[in-house]
Amino acid sequence: MGLTASDSADELDITCGDDVVRVRQLVRSRAQAAKLSLVDQTKLVTAASELARNTLVHGGSGRVIVENLSHNGRAGVRAVFSDDGPGIPDVQLAMTDGWTSGTGLGLGLSGSKRLVDEFDIDTEVGRGTTVTVVKWTR
């Protein structure tokens, strides 16, 4: 597989509201390093902000790992959000636009997915949730 992480990953704990801002700053600096366009940077940082808040609000707390990727000459950024929270009982339902557990607008997961190129969610009730997103240069 020609997929390589081009340099070391950054890991950040997400335990309070200020950490959501830190996640945005970290993801933005990685997106700039990958030379994503300004619109793509903004999309990825916005998705990261949504997912970091999900980690905090639904997972209680968690962490993100951010790294730069390179594949067939294209650069990208991957962010992996994970928590050890209650997990999501019905992922399909949670991915529906407008579905909300009561605290938001219900755009967090479905909206984030639209803003990135790759989106993967791995969740199990009682174990926690991991969401992986990737954005590539055009």
Partner 1 sequence: MDRVPLLSLGDSLLVSIQVDLDDETVLALQQDLAERIVSTGARGVVIDISGVEIVDSFIGRMFGSIASLSRVLDAETVVVGMRPAVAITLVELGLSLDGVRTALDVERGLAILRRLAAERRTRDAEEDDIAVDDHGGEGGEVVTAQPWA
Binding residues vs partner 1 (CB under 8 A):
17-18, 20-21, 24-25, 28, 38-39, 41-43, 45-46, 49-50, 53, 97, 104-105, 107-108, 110-112, 114-115
Instruction: Annotate 19-72 with three-state secondary structure.
Output: HHHHHHHHHHHHHHHCCCCHHHHHHHHHHHHHHHHHHHHCCCCEEEEEEEEEEC
Q: Which is nearer to partner 1, 5 or 16 (CB)?
A: 16
Nearer to partner 1, 87 or 104 (CB): 104
Residue 96 is which amino acid? T
Name which of 24 and 71 has its Cβ closer to partner 1: 24
Give which of 68, 76, 64 is closest to 24, Cα–Cα.
64
Nearer to partner 1, 60 or 104 (CB): 104
CB 17 within 8 A of CB 45: no
User: Tokens representing 69?
Assistant: 């990727």
The nearest distance, CB 19 to partner 1, in angstroms, is: 9
Least distance to partner 1 from the beta carbon of 127, Å?
26
Q: Work out how close the CB of 38 gets to partner 1 at its nearest, in angstroms, rounded to a whole number.
A: 5
